[in-house]
């Protein structure tokens, strides 16, 4: 069971408040070092496919590794929506990061209109077609309509999507999209839900700890 907190472009909690928690944190770049030094399992929110070069605003896998960062998110829907991330760039980032020795959480998920028009499986098939299984690759199923909206997929919807994803690519699959302390247990209880990628609720230490505890109870 893997719980990861995506702080997005928020400062986030004090790393010391999370010490000892069995969870991944994905802080903004400016706090990576602090999180690493506090002993947290620390991931970046993005990673470029070249190791260096004229790519203003990007960061490379060797640079992250030098800081002690263990992995990176790739292909978050906000990258896809606002920053021109495509299936092809997701594939390049993922491949380069894994080759360099980072762990990767690659995100997939359908838009509301795609779900409503029955396109969910086609979208997931397309997004996953560029990825290959790797021991350090974890997927996150994040229906875009559930991110930051307070709308959560029901545990049954999550289970159905996760089982479909696993039929295409053999990897652990985290659920993301408005995971909160009060809905985490139901989602994590599903057989193919291997953890959660938590946005908003990871900014609040108490909620994030409660989600980690729900995961702990599901494990046992
Ligand atoms: P949310 O974000 O939990 O705030 O919906 C999840 C994510 O974007 O990873």
- Per-residue pLDDT band for 148 (boundaries 50, 70, 90) equals confident
What is the residue whose two structure tokens read 């559930």? Answer: 146
The pLDDT of residue 149 is 87
What is the rounded CA–CA span in Å between residue 88 and residue 95?
11
Compute CA distances 4 → 89, 107, 206, whole Å: 22, 12, 15
Length of the chain: 220
The model carries a pTM of 0.97
The pLDDT of residue 167 is 98
Q: Which of 76, 85, 134, 162 is catalytic?
A: 76
Nearest to 89 by CA among 100, 70, 74: 74
Which protein residue's CA is at the shortest distance from atom 1 of ligand 1? 199
Which residues does a 6 A CB cutoff place in the pocket of ligand 1?
Answer: 6, 142, 147-148, 176-179, 197-201
Tell which one of 46, 148, 195, 207 to mutate to probe ligand 1, the residue whose CB is within 8 A of the most ligand atoms: 148
- pLDDT at residue 219 is higher than 80: no
The pLDDT of residue 220 is 65
Does 48 qualify as catalytic in the annotation?
no
pLDDT in tens, 22-75: 999 999 999 999 999 999 999 999 999 999 999 999 999 999 999 999 999 999
pLDDT in tens, 122-146: 999 999 999 999 999 999 999 999 9
CA 104 to chain CA centroid, Å, is 8
The pLDDT of residue 45 is 98
pLDDT in tens, 104-126: 999 999 999 999 999 999 999 99
Q: How far is the CA of 197 from the centre of ligand 1 (A)?
A: 7
pLDDT in tens, 173-197: 999 999 999 999 999 999 999 999 9
Torsion angle, CA of 21/22/27/30, rounded to 10 degrees? Answer: 70
């Amino acid at each position: 069971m893997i719980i990861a907190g995506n702080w997005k472009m928020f400062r986030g909690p004090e790393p010391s408040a999370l010490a000892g928690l069995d969870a991944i944190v994905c802080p903004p770049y400016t706090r990576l070092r602090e999180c690493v030094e506090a002993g947290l399992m620390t991931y970046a929110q993005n990673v470029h496919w070249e190791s260096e070069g004229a790519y203003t605003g990007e960061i490379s896998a060797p640079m992250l590794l030098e800081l002690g960062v263990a992995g990176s998110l790739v292909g978050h829907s906000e990258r896809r929506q606002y920053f021109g991330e495509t299936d092809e760039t997701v594939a390049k980032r993922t491949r380069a990061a894994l080759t360099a020795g980072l762990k990767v959480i690659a995100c997939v998920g359908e838009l509301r209109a795609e779900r409503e028009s029955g396109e969910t499986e086609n979208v997931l098939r397309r997004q996953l077609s560029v990825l290959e299984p790797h021991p350090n690759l974890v997927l996150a199923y994040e229906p875009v309509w559930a991110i930051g909206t307070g709308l959560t997929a029901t545990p049954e919807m999550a289970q159905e999507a996760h089982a479909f994803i696993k039929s295409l690519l053999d990897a652990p699959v985290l659920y993301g999209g408005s995971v909160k302390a009060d809905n985490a247990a139901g989602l994590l209880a599903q057989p193919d839900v291997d953890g959660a990628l938590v946005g908003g609720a990871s900014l609040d230490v108490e909620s994030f700890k409660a989600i980690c505890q729900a995961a702990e109870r599901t494990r046992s």
